[in-house]
């Protein structure tokens, strides 16, 4: 299965998503902020980065950009509900422009999250459209 880094500052949601991913057989490293996640990204290769966009101190957009600069680069799922900086839709569209493979609008159901992860980790197809789940 996949090696995944999960970045979410809301601890309850982070624990829930980690549980869901581990039940699917994935190995998960979690971080509550972008700085810690960036340290993991520098030291380890991941198949998938799942990141919230609105994070304390530094936003998830920085992580998307850093991940996509790696070789090989992990696939990226950007997720957001709302924040002080930008409405969720704008933040996620910026993520997509930076190379996120999929965007996920909060709140979402576990089954939507699972399907998104399966879709993004599916076989590489050069012209595969980005996946989006909206509320």
Supply the DSSP symbol for 98: T
Determine how many CB atoms are found less than 10 A away from the CB of residue 76: 25
- Residue 20's pLDDT is what? 97
Rounded to an integer, what distance in angstroms lies between the CA atom of residue 121 and that of residue 27?
13
Residue 91 has pLDDT above 80, yes or no: no
- Residue 133's pLDDT is what? 46
Average per-residue pLDDT for the chain = 84
Residue-wise pLDDT tens digits, 53-85: 888 888 888 899 888 888 888 999 999 875 545
Q: Which of 62, 46, 51 is nearest to 10 (CA)?
A: 51
Rounded to an integer, what distance in angstroms lies between the CA atom of residue 5 and that of residue 52?
11
Rounded to an integer, what distance in angstroms lies between the CA atom of residue 115 and that of residue 109?
10
> For the chain, what is the domain count?
1
108 in the Ramachandran plot: left (φ > 0), alpha (ψ -120 to 50) or beta? Answer: beta
- Residue 17's pLDDT is what? 98
More confident residue, 14 or 101: 14
Q: Which domain holds residue 24?
A: 3-133
Whole-model pTM?
Answer: 0.84
- Residue 106's pLDDT is what? 85
For position 72, which CATH number holds? Answer: 3.40.50.2300
């Amino acid at each position: 299965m996949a090696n995944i880094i999960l970045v979410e500052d809301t601890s309850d949601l982070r624990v829930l998503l980690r549980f869901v991913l581990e039940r699917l057989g994935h190995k998960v490293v979690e971080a509550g902020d972008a700085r810690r996640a960036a340290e993991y990204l520098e030291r380890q290769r991941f198949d998938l980065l799942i990141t919230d966009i609105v994070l304390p101190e530094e936003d998830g957009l920085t992580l998307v950009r850093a991940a996509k600069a790696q070789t090989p680069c992990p696939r990226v799922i950007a997720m957001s509900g709302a924040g002080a900086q930008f409405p969720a839709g704008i933040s996620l569209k910026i993520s997509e422009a930076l190379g996120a493979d999929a965007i996920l609008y909060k709140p979402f159901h576990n089954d939507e999250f699972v399907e998104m992860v399966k879709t993004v980790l599916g076989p590489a197809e050069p012209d595969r459209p980005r996946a989006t789940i909206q509320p």
